[in-house]
Structure 1
Amino acid sequence: MSLAAFNALEPQAAAELIRPCVDSDGWVTAVVAGRPYSSVDDALAAAETAAAGWVEADLDQALAHHPRIGDRAAGTNSEATMSRSEQAGVGLNSVTSSQMLAGNREYEQRFGRVFLIRAAGRSAAEILAELDRRLGNSPDQETGEAIEQLRQIALLRLRGVIEQ
């Protein structure tokens, strides 16, 4: 969708369009309320500002429907489609898939949530290295890193939605 078309949508339709970027009520509301945007960069700057105050509750809300890295997102909705597209270039094989599954389980036991990382532009080896490194984080450090990854994912997805 073009930026002009996004700017022209009714608020509810605009919210439905961008909610798959990140399921955060406050973020969606802020991005929709900031319209009209004069450029994609302005929209992304507003989205980044809206994400700046995210806390653990925002992370938990957003991860409620988020698949594990390495799992194929089920369904035909926009969020599942975006997730499959982002993970398509990761290049998992039987060895890295097994390592990812084991790492995901360890991460979930340690932190109580799925491991979140911006997969776009990363290889399986890079993701596994980050997973291993982040397992050494304290819970507070990891919450901060996961929120940063969520922000990156949201901005990439939003760019994809409004630059079409």
Structure 2
Amino acid sequence: MTAQLSQHLPPTLTRRPRGPTLPAHRLPDLPGRVAIPAQSRGEPGPPSPLERFNTAPARDAEHALLACLHSLRWALRIAGHRPYPDLASLLAAADEAAYDLSAEELTEALAAESLPALPEDTYTAAHTALSAAHAAYEAKFGHVFVISLAGVPEDEALDRVLEDIRSRLANDPEDEQVVAAEQLRHLARGRLENLLGGAGNCANTPHGAAPGN
């Protein structure tokens, strides 16, 4: 019986000798293999201009805003709605508040504006023509001429100012008030972008600054 069972058992498997193996606790030293250091937690960077504006004392924020558009209610409204998640939200709020300026507030804001600055190399004849146009504008409308030159090349600024002031002299006071309010809104928007984009402080505007900022 034993002999018969042994005939049906599978033959004994023989082990082939294996080559040398690496220890389980280390990796092979492959050429070019470098260690990757763990990422360290970086120090937080300085706050952005928008973050500083959001956290500034109310008086400081209002002062900066008044330098961008001289309307106390406009400045209080924008400062009172802080914090803003991004610059686009702040600019949208500034636009909305500018649309709500009353006639008295518009007059107050226009009174704080200065004449658009001219390029340093403007020739004398252009100064004379522009001075005459400004005088005619102020005599008719009672305030300085305001215009946003954002996006206008510097070498075209003088022609744009002369063209616009002569065109707007044909407006009646009510229509010109609407145009001036829109230009003030653009000016305030550009000044806010400069202030919070890190390009400088609005404290230099609106008095003596280049238009369109």
**If the length of structure 2 is used for normalisation, what is the TM-score?**
0.65
Q: Which of 1 and 2 has higher RCO (CA within 8 Å, sep 6+)?
A: 1
Runs of 4+ in 1 over 2 A off after TM superposition: 87-93, 119-122
Q: Distance in 1 between matches of 2:187 and 2:65?
A: 12
Structure 2 stretches of 5 or more lacking a match?
1-47, 199-213
What is the aligned counterpart of 1:36 among 83, 86, 102?
83
**Structure 1 residue 64 displacement after superposition:** 2.1
Between the two proteins, the alignment pairs up a number of residues equal to 147
What is the aligned counterpart of 1:96 among 126, 136, 159?
126
Q: Could you say if the C-alpha distance between residues 8 and 21 of structure 1 is closer, same or farther in structure 2, counting changes exceeding 3 Å? A: same
Q: Assess if the C-alpha contact under 8 Å between 1:3 and 1:162 holds in 2.
A: yes
- Post-superposition Cα deviations, 1:109-141, rounded to whole Å, max 9, x if no partner, equal 111111111134441001100000000001100
Please give the root-mean-square deviation of Cα atoms over the aligned residues, in Å: 1.7
- Equivalent in the alignment of 2:5: none
Choose 51-60 or 109-118, whichever is displaced more: 51-60
- Equivalent in the alignment of 2:49: 2
**If the length of structure 1 is used for normalisation, what is the TM-score?**
0.83
Q: Matched residues, percent identical?
A: 30
Structure 1 stretches of 5 or more lacking a match?
70-86
**Structure 1 residue 91 displacement after superposition:** 6.2
Tell me the amino acid that sits aligned with residue 156 of structure 1: G
Instruction: Report whether the alignment pairs 1:67 with 2:114.
Output: yes
Q: Distance in 2 between matches of 1:95 and 1:107?
A: 18
Tell me the amino acid that sits aligned with residue 159 of structure 2: A
Instruction: Report whether the alignment pairs 1:58 with 2:88.
Output: no
Q: Distance in 1 between matches of 2:68 and 2:120?
A: 19
